[in-house]
Structure 1
């Protein structure tokens, strides 16, 4: 049987082939992350006619930190070029905007699942469930190519639950090789502001944990499961996340780090980390 795979480059945002959908489809509220209110389906005032952000290089200074954290996992170009065949939302009027606004968040969620599934398939320890992972990856990819109407009607939470069963099994298999992991089961734990400097969190289950503003300076997070963990303003200075499981770019973007922070090769060091030690 030919192994089903997805190129991870297709799961990274490609603004050159997108119609600025994250700046149109998504709503946001005036807060520490956004300088103004915007409804779903309404273009951000900073969005230019070329579908590019007019303040991209100054987003943080202008009060749009939330934009620098966001990542569409390649859903923007998929919806722009595949779902709508390259037809701009401006060309189709309000109805086109409505349909794109409904489809984009759905495809974004599916692409995030594809990101996790491709990582799971890369783990040799997860070989016992590779066949099931390939099947559900193929199913997820097929869902991303459905019509706008089918996407809008899709029960994403139900599909996510099916995927999560296999991701959890992958996590268990990968972390089983790390001694003492049962002592570090912190799934969904409230660790906001926790002082975990230098903590040994190898193989820890931190799925869905709240680590907002936690101090993880120099912590060892190799092999830790970080799927869904909230890393907003988490201090990862000199922390080791080399083999952390299911770490995504949005999580890294939301955290604070340094040149000494070790990351998986699947994510990039955020520009705002530059120079921090």
Structure 2
């Protein structure tokens, strides 16, 4: 573990995991059950057998072949290092049972706060949301303030109430951005609008879905090969095993790296420039 660097790292603006500055919280605090996603059962608060003394995963480069696919599709949005180095000031869960108990309770709450910060930050960068800039800025500042509270205060937060406020803003942002796109494409032949959130295994291959909202949709194992997914809202969408080979996702909003990691893509899949093509995607 690095030391003496807390003041040098901006934990407030980082929404990507920094495992070297985290105490392996996702590998300890969270439970998982034996399934196609995990090779074995693990209780919440119990360290995964693959977690090393340095708080790093011993099989990080081989999670999928070792049966820990679920680990590759979890996103803490930078909450791990925030809790480890800021909230608990570098004191680890190994130091005492009391610290461990509180840290494991705070982590999932912080994960939700950082998720909201990530989406709000993205919304603030969109030109179409300029009319909501003040409201988005205020929501960002309030969410950031909540993430900086003391552990006892964080554990008392009622996250659903705050999330409802943030979600309403994000919905408005999404509608503003997608409205401009759908107005240009609504008369195009072959455009099929998909209703509902249950699209598990759906055949959407080659479809023009530009500007659609897949907010919270179940796209598990959906066939989206060569689909036009530009400017689509993917917030909360489940893309596990969704086939997006050859699809165009440029300009999509609220799409995370973990969602891409969960999907099946290839070298022809076009993605937002802020994200990276997963190593396991086919050539």
Map Cα deviations across residues 90-149 of structure 1 (whole Å, 9 max, x no partner). Answer: 11x221111111000001111111111011001111111110000000000111111111
Answer yes or no: is the 8 Å Cα contact 1:184–1:201 preserved in 2. yes
Shift of 1:193: 0.6
CA contact (8 A) 1:187 1:209 kept: no
Question: Which of 69, 82, 86 is the equivalent residue of 1:65?
Answer: 69
Question: What is the alpha-carbon distance in structure 2 between the residues aligned to residue 73 and residue 55 of structure 1?
Answer: 21
Normalised by the length of structure 1, the TM-score is 0.93
- Checking the alignment, whether the CA contact within 8 Å between 1:184 and 1:205 is kept in structure 2 is no
Alignment of 1:182-201 (within 5 A): 186=194, 188-201=196-209
Summarize the alignment of residues 227-246 of structure 1 with structure 2, pairs less than 5 Å apart: 227-246=235-254
Map Cα deviations across residues 34-86 of structure 1 (whole Å, 9 max, x no partner): 01111111111110111011111111111000011112110000000000001
Cα separation, 1, equivalents of 2:247 and 2:12: 25
The corresponding residue for 1:102 is 105
Structure-2 change in CA distance of 1:188 and 1:40 (3 Å): farther
Tell me, in whole angstroms, the C-alpha distance in 1 between the residues paired with 2:212 and 2:221. Answer: 19
Which segments of 5 or more consecutive residues in structure 2 lack a partner in the other structure?
1-9
State the TM-score, normalized to the length of structure 2: 0.91
RMSD, aligned α-carbons: 1.7
2:156 corresponding residue in structure 1: 153
Report the count of equivalent residues.
269
1:3 aligned partner? none
Q: Which residue of 1 aligns with 2:6?
A: none
Contact 2:83 2:110 survives alignment (8 Å): yes
CA distance in 1 between partners of 2:178 and 2:213 (Å): 9
Alignment partners' CA distance in 1, 2:12 and 2:71? 22
Residue matched to 1:218: 226
Residue 78 of structure 1 pairs with residue 73 of structure 2: no
Q: State how far apart, in whole Å, the 1-side matches of 2:168 and 2:196 are.
A: 16
- Deviation digits for residues 136-173 of structure 1 (CA, Å, limit 9, x no counterpart): 00000111111111111111111111001100000011
Q: 1:27 aligns with which of 25, 31, 41?
A: 31
Please point out which of 137, 140, 163 is paired with 2:140.
137
Cα shift at 1:189 = 2.0
Q: Quote the offset at 1:187 in angstroms.
A: 6.1
In structure 2, the partner of 1:41 is: 45
